[in-house]
Amino acid sequence: MLRIIPGIILTALVSTVSVFPGTDFPERAVSLSPSITRQMIDLGLGDRLVGVTSYCPDYGHRARVVGTLMNPSIEKILSLTPDIVLFSEEDSAIQKTSRIISAGMKCKMFPSNTDFRTLCNNYIDLAELFGRKELGEHKVKLYNNELKKISRRGAMTAVFLVSQRPLVTVSGKSYIGSILEDAGLKNAFQGLGTPYPVVSAEAIVRTRPDIIIVMNEGPAFITELLNGFSFPAVINRRIVQISDENIAYYTPSDYIASVKQISAIAGSRLK
């Protein structure tokens, strides 16, 4: 799940994370990433989940909530006697992953998702971990075919804000930056060096975007902040909000849904 918190990449922990050994596949899994939970359900593995975070919308009858995304309970996880604990690099910096590992539980951390390709690679790795590699590869092929059908290229320049206070945008190094590109938009901050850089209102004005897309909060604040400036997004009233129902999650199906949603937003604003 997307969390814009400056995280430390846990490179020191990666070498200590144990992948489930042998030929037996995990039957009892705890997922500390809402995105991994959604991928498990998409792969028909919901019955393997015995623990999830409170952010998960649908986690099946077997799973128990082990705490929030930012504060999972080590005691609750241990009480579920999982075969494996799953988490992602995006979320791990704000979780108690070092304590979970030191408690002796077998864990698997999936690398960051930066685009559709890396997302699909992680999806297949998850499927393989549970003996569903063939299914994972088949579904990825279908998702890739669907993305090819809906991907487009356009001339509109966009600013995407994941936060308005402070102003946090996305660069070409981010997952959302990849979605913008597939939706046919030119990212105004494509070339910045960090995935989710903090920018100023002046920097936004200088890019003269055709559209500004915001999430997590309505457009009233940024509209007021930029009131009086003269560039296409302001002149044509193209400051819009996107739902976080899909774009906040790292799954192939949510990626496809986000591309469709942003394409629809951009298309409707051109009329």
Contact 138, 44 (CB under 8 A): no
Residues 249/2, Cβ–Cβ less than 8 Å = yes
Provide the token pair at 16: 């200590």
**Measured CA angle at 257 (ends 51, 163), to 5 deg:** 75
For residue range 77-86, list pLDDT tens digits in order. Answer: 999 999 999 9
**Is the bond preceding residue 166 a cis peptide, omega within 30 degrees?**
yes
Nearest-angstrom CA–CA distance, 95 and 77: 13
How many C-beta neighbours within 10 Å does residue 24 have? Answer: 9
HSE-CB at 156 with a 13 A cutoff on CA atoms is 26
- Gap between the Cα atoms of 161 and 184, Å rounded: 17
CA atoms within 13 A on the CB side of 262: 35
CA dihedral 164, 169, 174, 180 (to 10 degrees): 100
Q: How confident is the model at residue 217 (pLDDT cuts 50, 70, 90)?
A: confident
Distance CA 196, CA 164 (A): 12
pLDDT in tens, 34-74: 999 999 999 999 999 999 998 875 665 679 999 888 888 99
How sure is the predictor about 192, in pLDDT bands with cuts at 50, 70 and 90? very high
Tokens 């579920």: give the residue.
80
pLDDT of residue 4 exceeding 60, the answer is: no
Q: What does the mean pLDDT of the chain come to?
A: 87
Which pLDDT value is given to residue 271? 46
pLDDT for res 59: 65
Question: pLDDT digits over 134-176, tens only?
Answer: 999 999 999 999 999 999 887 899 999 999 999 999 999 999 9
For 64, half-sphere exposure in the C-beta direction (CA atoms, 13 angstrom radius) is: 11
Average pLDDT over residues 196-218: 95
pLDDT-derived band at 1, boundaries 50, 70, 90:
low
